[in-house]
Structure 1
Amino acid sequence: MDAEAIEALERIADRAWPAAERSSLGSWILNASTGWSGRLNACWPLGEPPLPLGEAVAAVEAWYAARGLPPVFKPAGPLPALEAELAARGYRARTPTLMMVADIPQVTRPGRVSVADTVGEAFERVFLGTQDNPEDAAERMGAFHRIARPRVFASIEVDGAPVAIGGSAVEGDWAGVFGMRTLAAYRRQGLAQDIVAALMKGARAAGASRAYLQVEAPNAPAIALYERFGFATAFAYTYWSRG
């Protein structure tokens, strides 16, 4: 992807996963929630800032300091000047992440998957059951509830209890995949594959023709799953923070 395409997709991805508080510095996006999820608590430096680079970074730092949060930057694609500025201020890159994209394939929704356009109890139970940190989980659940329609939430039950989930947010041609979770006792049984298939079917029905998702680079099993649906890496990014 070229820089223009990266910026356009990043703006869609930002709107799909809404932070509790959103602001901007020129074309840069400032997101804040309670300090857990990276995308919900980071500056997305898209395009040129309205200030000289050092002053723009300082303004972002002040914005997060006013909210009691550490400043975090999420540059997408190669931004060597910004990365050099951050490194000089003591920031370090962490959590290498891939943005993967695919043309949405023609798939059939597996019969064992239920879909809805609201989060629902089944989704919440599985998501909270796979999160070790309740504050982190609560922050992310807030974002799920803020996802704008059209959206798709998928779940699978075994013996009457929900065990696997995933969500999708649609904007125009694009559908984002979020919140893929399977309870530990039910992994490696093809449930996640069926959830993705259901999300792709739902997204296509909502008008999308392409899909994107973010996955941490070391997560080889998840990457292999997504590749089976045609996903490939469009670009990579890291989070820059101090400490």
Structure 2
Amino acid sequence: MALEDVTSRAWPARVRERLGGWRLNAAGGRTGRANTCWALEAPDRDPVEAIAAVEAWYAGQGQAPRFKTTDGATQPANLPELLAASGYRVDSETLVMIGPVGGEGGAVIATQPDAPFQAVLFEALYKDPADAEERLETVRRIAPPVFFARLDVDGAPAAVGACAVEGEWAGLSLMRTVARARRQGLARRIVGSLLEQARLAGATKSYLQVEAENEPAVALYQACGFETVYRYRYWARA
């Protein structure tokens, strides 16, 4: 699936290896995309043996093994059943949505996650600063052009988001608003600002990933013109 390749490059893990068509990613254990085995094509061995090999690889990384299965792309097709038989369960489901480019919002735009941007990220993820740091390390590995948008409220950084452009595609990520500034329309303005930068950079369409259970965010993106095209699921041992 071509879009999966684009999304992988837009959120690059610190360590990346292959097991045939399975892609092993590790970056510290926090974010899903950079810390799971993407089973997009057939592995280079029997699938049950491949699951064991993935588990051994993640043990070597000091992380618990996790798998990602994607609608219409997972190989082998019965991998969910094999994972369930091995004690894995779905621990989250993500929507992949595609949408337009172009918009407005008046956000401050930068090409690096500067100190005010980082302040919002750490405040929004205050329960797990290591999560925020891993996300910052990840976006610093993205090939340019990458844009970082920020809005302030009463002189203080309040909302942020990022956008990575590759060819015709623009991928949104790191959408965060601090608690004191929510329900003020800031996230929609961040989206509009980033989609305009994407248009100026030559993109013609956009995508994002959002947890299926995050209904407010899903509603926001739908209002911005995004629609769900497929889903993927993370699997972890219960």
Which category of TM-score, normalised to the shorter sequence, fits these structures?
A: over 0.9
1:68 aligns with 2:62: yes
* 2:96–2:208 CA contact under 8 A, matched in 1: yes
Tell me by how many angstroms 1:166 deviates. 0.2
Query: Given the alignment, which residue of 89, 92, 102 partners 1:92?
Result: 89
CA distance, structure 2, for counterparts of residue 216 and residue 158 of structure 1: 27
| Partner of residue 177, structure 2 | 182
Question: Under a length normalisation based on structure 2, what TM-score does the superposition of the two structures give?
Answer: 0.95
CA distance, structure 2, for counterparts of residue 171 and residue 233 of structure 1: 20
| Partner of residue 143, structure 2 | 148
* 2:93–2:211 CA contact under 8 A, matched in 1: yes
SS in 1 for 2:203: coil
CA distance, structure 2, for counterparts of residue 173 and residue 28 of structure 1: 26
Query: What are the Cα deviations for residues 156-194 of structure 1, in whole angstroms up to 9, with x where unaligned?
Result: 112221110000111111111000011111111110000
Give RMSD over aligned pairs.
Answer: 1.2
CA distance, structure 2, for counterparts of residue 29 and residue 13 of structure 1: 13
Which 4+ runs in 1 deviate beyond 3 A? Answer: none
CA distance, structure 1, for counterparts of residue 7 and residue 186 of structure 2: 25
SS in 2 for 1:178: strand
1:205 aligns with 2:196: no
| Amino acid of the structure 2 residue aligned with 1:158 | V
SS in 2 for 1:75: strand
| Partner of residue 162, structure 1 | 157
SS in 1 for 2:207: strand
1:195 aligns with 2:215: no
| Amino acid of the structure 2 residue aligned with 1:124 | Q
SS in 1 for 2:83: helix
Tell me by how many angstroms 1:241 deviates. 0.8
1:237 aligns with 2:232: yes
| Partner of residue 228, structure 1 | 223
| Partner of residue 5, structure 2 | 11
